[in-house]
Structure 1
Amino acid sequence: MTDEQLLALRSSAQYKALGHPLRHRMVNLLRQRPATLGELTSALDSTKGTVGYHVRILREAGLVRLASTRQVRGGTEQRFELINKGFQLDEETGARFLHDAALAEMSPVRPGDPGHTVLHHLWLTPEEARALAERLETFDHGYEPHGAAGHRTEAYGLLLSLYRADIPRLPPEDHMR
């Protein structure tokens, strides 16, 4: 996803809107496609009033908009969509925000699940780090309900953070002898 496809989050209202666990889940649903309040309510196993309230917060923050309306059984059905499929976070709070969001959406690991969390450190030149960051940006495949051979897919989170780590370096071992 290029920077042009991302909405730069600038206000505390936008961060606050995305920071609520239910609204974060709504955004993940709306990344898949536009949805009605009824569809969101069903997918989130919530009430229409609760979902409507949280959609209003997302709309007021400028993150969600009304995509379409249609008349159904004497009423008007509204379909909502994200303003952008992705968001660009500021350098100061972005990493903490993403970390907290990932922790909030992590499901408990079930027996046989491939999920795990591990911290690795890579020793890279600045050029190698830039090249790796560019490769990771192209990895986003978006929402695909069916994977290889038509099998139903499950969502797995991948929180990647490429950062310069504050790790001291020991001199080579033979230098000390």
Structure 2
Amino acid sequence: MPEHEIPLRAFAHPLRLQILSLLTGAPMSAAEVARELGGTQANASYHLRQLYDARLLDVAEEVSVRGGRAKRYRHNPSTGNRLSGPEPSDRLAMAAALSEELRRRTMLRDAGRPAPMTDAELWVDPDLWRDICDRVTLAMTELHDAARPPRTPGTVRTSTTVSMFTMVPSPDPSSQDPA
């Protein structure tokens, strides 16, 4: 795998997806991540190391904490553009993690607010597909850039999951032998 690519498996854990989302809005240390997510500092530290080693996090700063030093990490969402993982098992692991995270977030949904949702398997013009992908990428970038630290006054907690890709053509059902 080229050095600039990031393996999908680095993302393929629901807690890591939560950490990446959290660190988009503000840099945090392992202790701060653990407090925000209700876990242990050791577990947060382990997953932060995995994400950092996969080049999904940057050290934003080092701060003094009770006579020691703590690293605060920050996630740059543009790393998603470097994801790799041609193996079906990598893609399936990522889809499973996204699905589990979406289920967790859905339980937290505010039923009193708008919640656009769509799911589709469509055949479209390739130029239109590229244009739509560009517009969705722009919207995702704008949303990530607007992220603020948790519980910032005047903000709302949101969930966004986007997975768009072209698919290989399936066999023509009319060309298959009847059973």
Same fold (TM over 0.5): yes
Q: CA deviation at 1:111?
A: 7.4
1:102 counterpart residue number: 98
Q: Would you say how many aligned residue pairs link Structure 1 and Structure 2?
A: 157
- Whether the aligned pair in 1 keeps the contact of 2:56 and 2:79 (CA below 8 Å) is no
- Whether the aligned pair in 2 keeps the contact of 1:68 and 1:79 (CA below 8 Å) is yes
Q: 1:161 aligns with which of 161, 164, 167?
A: 164
- Whether the aligned pair in 1 keeps the contact of 2:27 and 2:73 (CA below 8 Å) is yes
CA distance in 1, matches of 2:162, 2:24: 17
Do structure 1's residue 112 and structure 2's residue 111 form an aligned pair? Answer: yes
CA distance in 2, matches of 1:111, 1:28: 19
1:50 counterpart residue number: 43
1:79 counterpart residue number: 72
Q: CA deviation at 1:43?
A: 1.0
With the length of structure 2 as denominator, give the TM-score of the two structures. Answer: 0.68
Report the CA distance shift for 1:96/1:161 in structure 2 as closer, same or farther (over 3 A). farther
Report the CA distance shift for 1:158/1:62 in structure 2 as closer, same or farther (over 3 A). closer
User: What SS does the corresponding residue of 2:162 show, helix, strand or coil?
Assistant: coil
CA distance in 1, matches of 2:84, 2:63: 37
1:25 counterpart residue number: 18
With the length of structure 1 as denominator, give the TM-score of the two structures. Answer: 0.68
- Could you give the per-residue CA deviations for residues 14-34 of structure 1, whole angstroms, max 9, x where no partner exists? 433322222221111112221
Report the CA distance shift for 1:53/1:162 in structure 2 as closer, same or farther (over 3 A). closer
Report the CA distance shift for 1:17/1:112 in structure 2 as closer, same or farther (over 3 A). same
- Whether the aligned pair in 1 keeps the contact of 2:24 and 2:76 (CA below 8 Å) is no
Q: Which structure's residues are more often helix, by fraction?
A: 2
- Whether the aligned pair in 2 keeps the contact of 1:37 and 1:48 (CA below 8 Å) is yes
Q: Give the aligned residue type for 1:51.
A: A
Report the CA distance shift for 1:111/1:65 in structure 2 as closer, same or farther (over 3 A). closer
Q: 2:5 aligns with which of 1, 8, 24?
A: 8
Higher mean C-alpha displacement, 92-101 vs 135-144: 92-101
Taking only the aligned residue pairs, the percentage that are identical comes to 21
Do structure 1's residue 90 and structure 2's residue 84 form an aligned pair? Answer: yes
Report the CA distance shift for 1:111/1:41 in structure 2 as closer, same or farther (over 3 A). closer
Q: CA deviation at 1:90?
A: 2.9
Q: Give the aligned residue type for 1:90.
A: S
Q: Which has the higher contact order (CA 8 A, sep 6+)?
A: 2
Structure 1 gaps of 5+ residues are 1-6, 171-177
Pairwise CA RMSD: 3.3
Q: Give the aligned residue type for 1:136.
A: V
